[in-house]
Amino acid sequence: MNWRELLQSEIKVNYNVADQLFDWISDKDLAWKPAGGSNWMTVGQLLMHIAVGTGPAFKAVITGDWGLPEGKDPSEMSEEEMLPPAAKMPAVETVDQAKQLLQKDMQETLDYLSRATDERLENEPAPVPWDPTGISLGYRLLQFVIHLNQHKGQLFYYLKLQEKPVNTQHLWGM
């Protein structure tokens, strides 16, 4: 399996589709969130999460730099520090900001991917604080792209719940 080609392809497709889904949102939609249930992100929080989540994850696993203050060990962080409730998550201020952040994150993701050799992608164990198993770096990075894909799907359903005229073709960028 060629991890690099798989990851590059999935990164480009998922970011492109996310960008197209962002086009269905207006700035007045950013405070919306589903009415039922609890711990939902607003649209603005979801856009921020999609737009800045993958590059830092690639950076952390590929370089070992988790971007934490000196002396802060990610394995010692509480569950809330690792995964804050929706109410504590940052939001974008505009859709334009989200689109700019998304493009920057895609470039950062691809740049960090270019730093990992094919040998590392195939054979290097890549444990993370929330999953200490030593799956390969390539597979771990694929999990981060799957995370992006999942939230892209969440955004699609937010749009459906807002009665925007999106369909399956929009979800898959067709």
- Kindly report, residue by residue over 76-114, the tens digit of the pLDDT: 777 776 678 888 899 999 999 999 999 999 999 999 999
pLDDT value at residue 99: 98
Q: Is residue 36 part of a domain?
A: no
How far apart (Å, rounded) are the C-alpha atoms in residues 112 and 171? 26
Amino acid at site 30: L
Beta bridge partners of residue 136, listed in sequence order: 125
Residue 107 sits in a domain whose CATH number is 1.20.120.450
Q: Could you tell me the residue range of the domain that residue 113 belongs to?
A: 3-31+41-65+91-172
> Is 81 within a domain?
no
- Domain annotation covers residue 76: no
Q: What is the pLDDT confidence band of residue 1, given thresholds at 50, 70 and 90?
A: low
| Domain contains 18 | yes
Quote the number of domains for the chain: 1
